[in-house]
Amino acid sequence: MAPEAPQPLFRRQKILERQNQDMYMHRAWLMDAPSQTSMRREQLDGAGGPLILNWRPTQEASVGLPPELADPTFAEVVGLLDSDDTAPLDQTVIDVACQLCCVGADIYVDEVTRPRTPPTNLFLIAEIKPSMGGGTGDSHFQGANYHLHFWRQRGNSEIFKSTCCPAFLLEVVGPHARLSAVAWLDRVTIFPLTPLLNLLPAHPVTDRLLMPVARMLAALRAGLRMLARRAHAVDAAERTAAAERGAVAPAAGAATVKAVQARAANAKAAKPNAEATKAAETAEVDAEELAEMLSKAAAAGKQRPLPWPIAMDARYNAATARQLVNPNHTCRVDLAGTGGGGGGGTGGELARSGAVVVVKLCQSYGLAAHQRWAELGLAPQVLRSEPLPGGWLLVEMEWLPTLEWRKLSELLLLLSSSGPELAQALSAAQGALARAHAATGLVHGDMRPPNCLVRRSGEAGAPAWEVRFVDFEWAGPEGEATYPACMNPAIPWPEGVGYRKPLHREHDTQLLAATVAGGGRTGVSAAISGTAGGGRRARRSPGAAAVRATGHTAASGRQAVPPPGTAAVAAVRRRSVGVGGERLRAATAGWTRAAAAAAAATGRARVW
């Protein structure tokens, strides 16, 4: 099967994405200091869209790639956080958690910002505030803004161009703490990894409040180590390559860093203490310098984010990847060769170099049902599947060309309801569904027109229409598989469908009939609106959708995320507090060398 030529619409989308990214970088340069940036103004910007993708004010307006697909380090950390009691914690982590809980429970009256020399990479942002509210701003939004301010000045660095700039945000807000993942995808995106955890002294009887904090700190420690190891390895490789060329390559973005340091030093000399930090944050950039930096950033470009399992796997030609339906994580992509990542399944002729496949990333999938229906010729062939960190699954399947295969929902909109063609296609879909039920005893669970692909048969004596079903996330044995918690109320679900209720074959039949009677508009409008799960769910963490392409199965999209380069320095934007500042800095000992040294000086070191 020869790869399809890129469609004009796809090329126009790429141009628009590039223009939007350039506009976003210009906007970033015009931002005030994070503490002075209005969340309401920037998140409700009707022209430029939300400044930070953080699911506020709505998922449709501010959805982003989930952290498990943005960077493999985030996926590993999510897995550690979800491990509950299966992963034992060491005593050092528990000691630090105890100390942090005691400090967080204290009551403070103010906060002091301490500027630090900016490094060439950013792994950790710490937003520490004396309490919630009190006019100090939203720590979640401010932390993401510090990430934006850091990387906007390094738009021409190799790190910025070749990675998603992964970092962690640790918020300590009064007696609460929260860990989030931050990355610069097509724009800065932040996703909470934990809820707000209570920082209260350990109870003498129960550790119910302490252990979640300890597990969060253990996951953060592991994540920072992974980011540092990866960055050091890349930095060493770059320096070795430069030495072989007869010159030592300068650190990426060094000129920019020096310029920033100079501006910060001038601002600090002009205004003392806390005012110095504000001056450094809001220091004016020379117009000529700004134009040059923006030009370099625009020339470098930052591609639309692809999930790392596609971008970082040599099996796939990431440059050809195209997300099929936003925000579902399903991509159409060319194979780079017959090798690549592991996983079960065989590709046969379909896995040859240059072939087109669909890669779907999801958190649950009825793989056995998909394979059984594929054996009957009623679903795309599964080429391989592979578990991913963080509880995700990669499913690679046959690509059904859009020039041949159409979603049934498209036919409902394009063809006359009284015409023979539509009647024949509907009859073929209903017959194929009945055949699959009878032969396998498996239920699909989301049998709507967008998940039913049809094409005219060109073979003599064959049925007029061929049928393939896609999106098997909920599929399973009748009476055993159950429905998930979040389901789109706009869809006319049959009686008996609901959370943890078993799937039955009549649900498939009734749902298909009801959505066909509605002209297929329910599923189409839900997918267009960006509802997770392609219109099945009202609120669902991304990854729950299968096949809603312009003619094929659901797939996933993400940015190329090679490992970070150059010096790996964990930069901490720390807000220490007045009276208890020394205690608070001691509690966070071990997160940075400076904090560890300060703690050691007081004899209260907690070095990890």
pLDDT tens profile 578-597: 333 343 344 333 333 433 34
**472 and 366 in contact (C-beta within 8 Å)?**
yes
Q: What token pair was written down for 297?
A: 């950033």
Q: What token pair was written down for 608?
A: 């990890």
Question: Which residue, 219, 114, 101, is CA-closest to 598?
Answer: 114
177/127 Cα distance (integer angstroms): 10
Lowest mean pLDDT among 8-17, 49-58, 531-540, 575-584: 575-584
Lowest mean pLDDT among 126-130, 281-285, 366-370, 591-595: 591-595
pLDDT in tens, 62-111: 777 889 999 999 999 999 998 866 567 888 998 888 888 887 766 665 55
Q: At what angle do helices 505-517 and 420-440 cross, to 10 degrees?
A: 170
**214 and 100 in contact (C-beta within 8 Å)?**
no
Residue 555 clears pLDDT 90, i.e. is over it: no
Q: What token pair was written down for 221?
A: 């420690």
Predicted confidence at residue 467, as pLDDT, reads 97
**115 and 272 in contact (C-beta within 8 Å)?**
no
- Beta-carbon contacts of residue 442 (< 8 Å; ≥ 6 apart): 366, 368, 369, 372, 373, 436, 475, 476, 477, 478
Phi and psi torsions of 606, nearest 5°: -130, 75
200/484 Cα distance (integer angstroms): 35
388/386 Cα distance (integer angstroms): 6
> H/E element holding 463?
none
- Beta-carbon contacts of residue 240 (< 8 Å; ≥ 6 apart): none
For residue 549, the cross-strand partners are: none
Helix (H, G, I), strand (E, B), or coil: what is residue 550?
Answer: coil
- List helix spans (H) across 153-209: 158-162
Q: What token pair was written down for 125?
A: 């942002």
Residue 457 clears pLDDT 90, i.e. is over it: no
- List helix spans (H) across 271-419: 273-282, 287-300, 308-311, 367-375, 408-414
Predicted confidence at residue 351, as pLDDT, reads 53
472/445 Cα distance (integer angstroms): 8
278/257 Cα distance (integer angstroms): 18
How many residues make up the chain in this entry?
608
pLDDT in tens, 306-344: 899 999 999 999 989 988 876 678 999 999 864 444 444
Predicted confidence at residue 510, as pLDDT, reads 97
**333 and 356 in contact (C-beta within 8 Å)?**
yes
Predicted confidence at residue 167, as pLDDT, reads 96
Burial 26-54 (b: 16+ CB within 10 A, else e): ebbeebebbbebebeebbeeeeebbbbbb
448/169 Cα distance (integer angstroms): 40
Q: What token pair was written down for 35?
A: 């503490």
191/179 Cα distance (integer angstroms): 9
Higher-confidence residue of 119 and 438: namely 438
337/341 Cα distance (integer angstroms): 11
Question: Which residue, 183, 193, 450, 463, is CA-closest to 311?
Answer: 183
**Domains annotated on the chain, with CATH:** 51-108+119-242 (no CATH), 319-337+354-517 (1.10.510)
Residue type, 169: L
Burial 477-497 (b: 16+ CB within 10 A, else e): ebeebebbebbbeebebeeeb
Return the CA Rg of the chain.
Answer: 26
Residue 225 clears pLDDT 70, i.e. is over it: yes
Residue 333, exposed/middle/buried by CB under 10 A (0-12, 13-18, 19+)?
A: buried
> H/E element holding 147?
helix 139-152
Spell out the SS3 assignment of 10-53.
HHHHHHHHHHHHHHHHHHHHCCCCHHHCCHHHHHCCCCCCCCCE
386/191 Cα distance (integer angstroms): 24
Predicted confidence at residue 71, as pLDDT, reads 93
Predicted confidence at residue 178, as pLDDT, reads 96
197/219 Cα distance (integer angstroms): 14
Residue 577 clears pLDDT 70, i.e. is over it: no
